[in-house]
Amino acid sequence: MPIHVRANQGDYAEACLLPGDPLRAKYIAETFMEDVVQRNSERGMLGYTGTFRGKPVSVQSSGMGCPSAAIVIEELVQLGVRKLMRVGTCGGLQPDLAMGDLIIALAATPADSTSTHYVAGEPHAPTADFGLVHEAVHQAKELGKPVRVGPIVSSDIFYQPDEGLAGRWSQRGILAVEMEAAVLFTLGALRKIQAGCMLIVSDVVVDGEFVRITDEEMRAAVDQMTELALHVVTAG
């Protein structure tokens, strides 16, 4: 039994959603899944297994940042999970993005130390599984959900002291910043599993002013993202 995800082989489905927030994991399980069984509560990191349209699926919270996410991902792999889809939030970096927009990540620039340690400091490009990206775009079209597809960046720092960094990321074509995808994609490659990431734009900077999404807008956007993610990971 792993140390932090206190479950046994077979407790988790091969496909699993990976929100950062434990309460979002609980909400997803209770709102979108059937025959739900709670599998983990260690350190408040809630995890559940159930079905979506008759197909087995799990949801497990990962916490905030790459170090926490790496522990959860490693232990889920130990438990037999083979398909992981992060469902989270991000800060929009492009001027044409709006709060509530849905992003499908192609790659995640590793502006974090955890991903770098996994590759011994060598240059690498953490990339999402193409099968999941392709399926996500296909399912989004089928469900009539508008999405943006492109690169993101994973940062160690939420309260960034470098005031010009977001602008430099934006100039390089990066769509958004978040805190977990780089290590998810890195471990996807190293552990030979499928790894993907969907994100809701929860805050943006407009003319230098920080603006955050309302709770009502967030709930509606999370519902749209979750429905799409569940269709993707249970396809086939």
What pLDDT, on the 0 to 100 scale, is given for residue 208? 65
Residue 225 counted as domain residue: yes
The answer to whether 184 touches 60, Cβ cutoff 8 Å, is no
Residue 72 counted as domain residue: yes
Q: In this structure, what CATH number is given to the domain that contains residue 195?
A: 3.40.50.1580
What pLDDT, on the 0 to 100 scale, is given for residue 207? 58
What pLDDT, on the 0 to 100 scale, is given for residue 140? 96
The total number of structural domains in the chain stands at 1
What's the distance, CA 205 to chain centroid? 22
HEC sequence for the chain: CCCCCCCCCCCCCCEEEECCCHHHHHHHHHHHCEEEEEEECHHHCCEEEEEECCEEEEEECCCCCHHHHHHHHHHHHHCCCCEEEEEEEEEECCCCCCCCCEEEEEEEEEECHHHHHHCCCCCCCCECCHHHHHHHHHHHHHHCCCCEEEEEEEECCCCCCCCCHHHHHHHCCCCEEECCHHHHHHHHHHCCCEEEEEEEEEEEEECCEEEECCHHHHHHHHHHHHHHHHHHHCCC
| pLDDT tens-place values along the chain, 236 residues long | 899 999 999 999 999 999 999 999 999 999 999 999 999 999 999 999 999 999 999 999 999 999 999 999 999 999 999 999 999 999 999 989 999 999 999 999 999 999 999 999 999 999 999 999 999 999 999 999 999 999 999 999 999 999 899 999 999 999 999 999 999 999 999 999 999 999 999 998 655 667 788 999 999 999 999 999 999 999 97
What pLDDT, on the 0 to 100 scale, is given for residue 236? 76
Residue 119 counted as domain residue: yes
Residue 55 counted as domain residue: yes
What pLDDT, on the 0 to 100 scale, is given for residue 209? 67
Residue 1 counted as domain residue: no
- Name the catalytic one among 11, 35, 129, 203: 203
177: nearest Cα among 167, 190, 185: 167
Residue 68 counted as domain residue: yes
Residue 10 counted as domain residue: no
- What's the domain range around 106? 15-233
Residue 229 counted as domain residue: yes
Paired with 58 in beta bridges are 16, 49
| 203 noted as active-site residue | yes
